């Protein structure tokens, strides 16, 4: 692993989508793995059943960067476009893509009210 901008030892990384070629490779490998499992499967047993093949939305790849080419911590928390590379120092601290928006935050669990004997409202 090296920084994708300069080849130095990476300090940080973030996720990006796979390019079309990478995704085709990835799905090809997955298909080959499944074909092999079917070939090796015990004929006395049920044929292995697989879920749908992965799509672009299921897989990410890491972009590595050294300290000089790192993006901001907030940006690194997002999933970046397939073209994303470590940013050019001239355009720091942004990378060259528009990251996907962050998933909506988990709704806070609604706590049950404490019973009256514990100093709560008892739900009233
Ligand atoms: Zn670098
Ligand atoms: Zn990016």
Average pLDDT over residues 45-57: 92
Q: ∠ CA 106-112-115 to the nearest 5 degrees?
A: 160
Please, which residues have CB less than 5 A from ligand 2, an ion?
80, 84, 95, 97
Residue 11 CA: which ligand is closest? Answer: 1
Residue 78 CA: which ligand is closest? Answer: 2
CA of 20 to the centre of ligand 1 (A): 25
Per-residue confidence (pLDDT) for residue 123, from 0 to 100: 67
- The pLDDT > 90 percentage for the chain reads 56
Q: What are the sequence ranges of the domains in the chain?
A: 12-118
Per-residue confidence (pLDDT) for residue 80, from 0 to 100: 95
CB 72 within 8 Å of CB 93: yes
Position 86 pLDDT exceeds 60: yes
> Quick one: which of 63, 82, 104 has its CA closest to 24?
82
**Number of H helices and number of E strands within the chain?**
2, 3
> What's the pLDDT tens digit per position in 54-80?
999 999 999 999 988 889 899 999 999
pLDDT tier at 92 (50, 70, 90 boundaries)?
low
Tell me if residue 70 falls in helix, strand or coil: coil
Please, which residues have CB less than 5 A from ligand 1, an ion?
3, 5-6, 8, 66, 69
């Amino acid at each position: 692993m090296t920084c994708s901008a300069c080849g130095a030892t990476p300090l940080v990384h973030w996720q990006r989508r796979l390019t079309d070629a990478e995704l085709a490779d990835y799905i090809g490998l997955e298909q080959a793995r499944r074909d092999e499992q079917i070939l090796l499967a015990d004929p006395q047993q049920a044929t292995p059943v697989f879920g749908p093949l992965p799509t672009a939305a299921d897989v990410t790849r890491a972009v590595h960067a050294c300290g000089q080419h790192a993006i901001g911590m907030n940006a690194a928390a997002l999933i970046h476009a397939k073209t994303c590379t470590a940013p050019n120092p001239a355009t720091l601290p942004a990378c060259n893509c528009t990251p996907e928006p962050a998933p909506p935050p988990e709704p806070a669990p609604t706590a049950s009210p404490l019973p009256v004997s514990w100093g709560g409202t008892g739900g009233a």
